[in-house]
Amino acid sequence: MIIPPYLKTGDCIRVVSPAGKIDTNKVLPGIDLVRKEGFDVVTGEHALDRYFQFSGTEQQRLTDLQTALDDEKCKAIFCARGGYGTIRIADKINFSSFRRSPKWLVGFSDITVLHCQLQKQNIASIHGAMPGFYLKEGKPTESYETLIQTLKGKKQSFKFGQHYLNRNGNCSGQLTGGNLSILYSLIGTPYEPDTTGKILFIEDLSEYLYHLDRTMHSLKLAGKLDQLAGLVVGGFSEMKDNDSRFGQTVEEIIFDAVKEHSFPVCFDFPAGHIEKNLPLVIGGTYELNVSDKPGLIRVL
């Protein structure tokens, strides 16, 4: 796995919006914060545009992203937000220049599409907070600060709490994953995630419990859970149920899909559509330790 060069003060960071339209009141202060960090921040020509629910037409969004991928002076690409729309331009992206001059790509949610594509290119990326989540009450968030540390080369070590469904064990392996609904939607496509021997990270937002059950069992039937080294379950926020209750919690649904296996499983890891969204290097090699004490995941 290729690890892009880490950032230093003065490096160029490009901000693009490959999916949903953004709230400038929320995102622009985050972009300014990155600029104050000492980076040369360039906002994509169409990053602030609006075209129905998207941040510009498909061609506009593709042009901004392709420009960032091809820019040899650019050292990182920050996606302004997720939402929906990356899949509509995925097959039109050209990675030839990017492979010659790899750089960090940062984002989560719908940006999982790009993380999966970069896995196929054998290039690491960062599942982490986007500019709208860099400030809270005018102060930098922990999500932002740990992201910048990661981009500068700090090997992160994160602790997580205990959960009654955690399955104890130790493992190491390359980390893959992201938004569960996106991973599920990519099965059968050229960007289908390879989970063999890897630690799988999953998170999601505002889905029905029956849909969560369907996605987990689809991953199971596709063989994506058979040879995992470990499973890290992040935030599952604002989940919904029908009037006729599903009958299981989020954690019970996920555990039910992997109960026949023996790999370590941890729940409630602080990453995803939650306030504390710690950065994870997709493609990085991690050690996962789940025990009766607070667990630990660290970059090797």
pTM over 0.85: yes
Is the pLDDT at 33 greater than 90? The verdict is yes
Of 77-81, 112-116, 146-150, 291-295, least confident by mean pLDDT is 291-295
Distance (Å, rounded) from C-alpha 190 to C-alpha 129?
A: 26
Q: For the chain, which domains are there?
A: 12-151 (3.40.50.10740), 157-299 (3.50.30.60)
Q: Nearest-CA neighbor of 68 among 91, 86, 33, 95?
A: 95
- Report the b/e string of 61-92 with b at 16+ CB within 10 A: bbbbbbbbbebeebbbbbbbbbbebbbebbee
Q: Nearest-CA neighbor of 160 among 275, 265, 285?
A: 265
pLDDT in tens, 42-66: 999 999 999 999 999 999 999 999 9
pLDDT in tens, 162-195: 999 999 999 999 999 999 999 999 999 999 999 9
* Residue 296 neighbours by CB distance under 10 Å: 16
Q: Position 139: which residue type?
A: K
Q: Nearest-CA neighbor of 78 among 23, 36, 134?
A: 134
Do you know the residue count of the chain? 300
Distance (Å, rounded) from C-alpha 187 to C-alpha 283?
A: 19
Supply the pLDDT for residue 294.
Answer: 86
Supply the pLDDT for residue 300.
Answer: 80
Quickly state the pLDDT bin for 151 (edges 50, 70, 90).
Answer: very high
Q: Pull the structure tokens for residue 257.
A: 């899909």
Q: How far is CA 7 from each of CA 18, 106, 246, 268, rounded to the nearest angstrom?
A: 23, 13, 46, 30
Please give the DSSP secondary-structure letter assigned to residue 15: E
Quickly state the pLDDT bin for 293 (edges 50, 70, 90).
Answer: confident
* Average confidence score pLDDT of the chain: 97
